[in-house]
């Protein structure tokens, strides 16, 4: 990783250390956007591991190993908190990372099944996520907690994140892919759709186009941003005011200029909410 961040010893005030936000690729930008909105004075480092993406079709052990190694790198740079802006990496590694670093504020993201079930009691809730997230223990437990409240329908979406990684969020190919993937739910509409992968909010307008106006589309980005803010506040690490706004540094494990350009584009892109 290249760095423009000061080295560990240069931080006299702990609140001035940056926050690391990480994903397998560009998807975590959907979470970073919310974090920057509610924590405008923080300095963020966004790291996308596009060299090893996709994570969602790898083994849990492999994703855990990669995630732990990224967190070690962030710590050696002196970050004050880590956000795993990837449902797949959270499912594989957040528990282990909290055990390894008990005093580090760490947040992960999981599919927003709770708000979806609570807002649609007795309804049908479709959960779109990577195969690894859907088949992981963490998701099974989450589903178990809410399946008496609503019908939870898990849908592994192998292949979907790649459209976002290639910047094809408005392409006819993505539309066709989604039509095939969601065919069953075009015929039998659901009440809510949970976007259980941080890449999918960028495909939201296309998902809406395919599924029509009925389902509420829910993602957990804002909730995760609030949780990070809460944890940093509790640890006395939140920057509440400063003479200037914080910065965002984008990095990619392939060091690809193209990826960095895509990250910047997604960071400012308008996404239709409904």
Active-site choice (53, 86, 106, 193): 86
What minimum distance in Å lies between the beta carbon of 14 and ligand DGL?
Answer: 29
Of 5, 67, 133, 169, which one interacts with ligand DGL (CB under 6 A)? 133
What minimum distance in Å lies between the beta carbon of 28 and ligand DGL?
Answer: 6
What minimum distance in Å lies between the beta carbon of 94 and ligand DGL?
Answer: 12
Of 18, 48, 54, 105, which one interacts with ligand DGL (CB under 6 A)? 54
Interface region with ligand DGL, contact rule CB under 6 A, candidates 5-13, 50-58, 172-180, 181-189:
50-58
Q: With contact defined as beta carbons under 8 Å apart, do 114 and 146 qualify? A: yes
User: Which helix or strand (DSSP H or E) is residue 39 part of?
Assistant: none
User: Which helix or strand (DSSP H or E) is residue 219 part of?
Assistant: strand 216-219
Site for ligand DGL in 178-207 (CB under 6 A): 197-199
**Residue whose structure tokens are 């803010």:** 229
Active-site choice (125, 164, 197, 248): 197
Please choose, from the candidates 42, 45, 44, 85, the residue with its C-alpha nearest in 3D space to the C-alpha of residue 67: 85
Closest to ligand DGL by CB, 5 vs 50, is 50
Token pair in block for residue 172: 């006819």
Q: Does 55 bind ligand DGL (CB under 6 A)?
A: yes
* Phi, psi torsion values for 201, nearest 5 degrees: -55, -25
Q: What CA–CA distances, in Å, run from 213 to 93, 190, 196?
A: 36, 11, 20
Active-site residue 157, yes or no? no
* Phi, psi torsion values for 171, nearest 5 degrees: -85, 150
Interface region with ligand DGL, contact rule CB under 6 A, candidates 10-18, 66-74, 83-91, 212-220:
83-91
Token pair in block for residue 196: 């259980």
What minimum distance in Å lies between the beta carbon of 15 and ligand DGL?
Answer: 28
Interface region with ligand DGL, contact rule CB under 6 A, candidates 24-32, 100-108, 222-230, 241-249:
24-32
CA-atom Rg of the chain in angstroms: 18
d(Cα 208, Cα 170) in Å, to the nearest integer? 12
Of 53, 126, 143, 225, which one interacts with ligand DGL (CB under 6 A)? 53
d(Cα 252, Cα 234) in Å, to the nearest integer? 30
Q: Does 83 bind ligand DGL (CB under 6 A)?
A: no
Please choose, from the candidates 226, 266, 236, the residue with its C-alpha nearest in 3D space to the C-alpha of residue 23: 266
Number of residues that bind ligand DGL (CB under 6 A): 17
Residues binding ligand DGL (CB under 6 A): 23-25, 27, 53-56, 86-88, 130, 133, 161, 197-199
Catalytic residues: 86, 197
């Amino acid at each position: 990783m290249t760095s423009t961040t000061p080295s560990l010893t240069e931080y006299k005030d702990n609140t001035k250390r940056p926050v690391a936000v990480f994903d397998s690729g560009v998807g975590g930008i959907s979470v970073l956007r919310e974090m920057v909105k509610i924590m405008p004075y923080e300095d963020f480092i966004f790291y996308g591991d596009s060299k090893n993406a996709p994570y969602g079709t790898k083994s849990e052990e492999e994703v855990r190993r990669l995630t732990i190694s990224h967190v070690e790198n962030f710590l050696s740079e002196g970050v004050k908190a880590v956000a795993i802006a990837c449902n797949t990496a959270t499912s594989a590694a957040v528990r282990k990372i909290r055990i390894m670093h008990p005093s580090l504020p760490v947040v992960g993201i999981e599919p927003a099944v709770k708000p979806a079930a609570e807002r649609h009691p007795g309804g049908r809730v479709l959960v779109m996520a990577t195969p690894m997230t859907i088949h992981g223990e963490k998701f099974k437990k989450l589903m178990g907690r809410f399946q008496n409240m609503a019908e939870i329908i898990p849908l592994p979406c192998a292949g979907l994140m790649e459209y976002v990684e290639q910047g094809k969020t408005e392409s006819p190919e993505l539309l066709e892919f989604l039509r095939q993937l969601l065919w069953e739910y075009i015929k039998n509409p659901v009440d809510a759709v949970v976007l259980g992968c941080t890449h999918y909010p960028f495909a939201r307008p296309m998902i809406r186009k395919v599924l029509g106006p009925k389902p509420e589309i829910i993602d957990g980005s804002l909730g995760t941003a609030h949780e990070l803010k809460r944890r940093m506040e509790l640890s006395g690490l939140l920057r509440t005011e400063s003479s200037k706004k914080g910065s965002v540094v984008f990095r990619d494990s392939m060091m690809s200029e193209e990826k960095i350009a895509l990250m910047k584009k997604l960071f400012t892109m308008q996404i239709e909410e409904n």
